[in-house]
Amino acid sequence: MSLCRAALQRCGPMARHFLTNSPFSHLNRNVVSRRTMSSVPGGSGENIAYFLLCGGALAASVAYTYSTVTSDHARFMDRVTDIQSRPKDEWKPKPWPPKSRDEDEEAL
């Protein structure tokens, strides 16, 4: 352990110097890249436009959903009452085991 630490203390500064002052300095990935900005972030008013656009879309979707749900509820209740008012036949189970096609043809 101490041998590795001694080697790191001995060779570490040389390696750092080599990476920062050589043609290989671009290999050092621990540096935050700089980006030139033409203006202050958010200063052009684009964020407000996006906010208004997304807010308008959200408001329209909520209004559409509300109108669809309320109109569909009335239609749903009409259909339920229509189905319940139909005459109901007594349920009869199918015979088991089912007949094969040959037996059906012989019966005809």
Q: What is the pLDDT of residues 13-42, one digit of tens each?
A: 777 766 666 666 666 566 666 666 655 555
d(CA 53, CA 72): 28
Domain ranges, residue 63: 48-77
18 inside domain: no
21 inside domain: no
Q: Which residues contact 27 (CB under 8 A, 6 or more apart)?
A: 19
Q: Token pair of 9, please? A: 């203390």
Whether residue 20 contacts residue 28, with contact meaning beta carbons closer than 8 Å, is answered with: yes
68 inside domain: yes
Q: Token pair of 65, please? A: 């959903």
67 inside domain: yes
Model pLDDT for residues 70-90, shown as the tens digit of each residue:
887 778 889 999 999 988 888
Q: How many residues does the chain have?
A: 108
Domain count, the chain: 1
57 inside domain: yes
96 inside domain: no
Q: Is the pTM above the cut of 0.75?
A: no
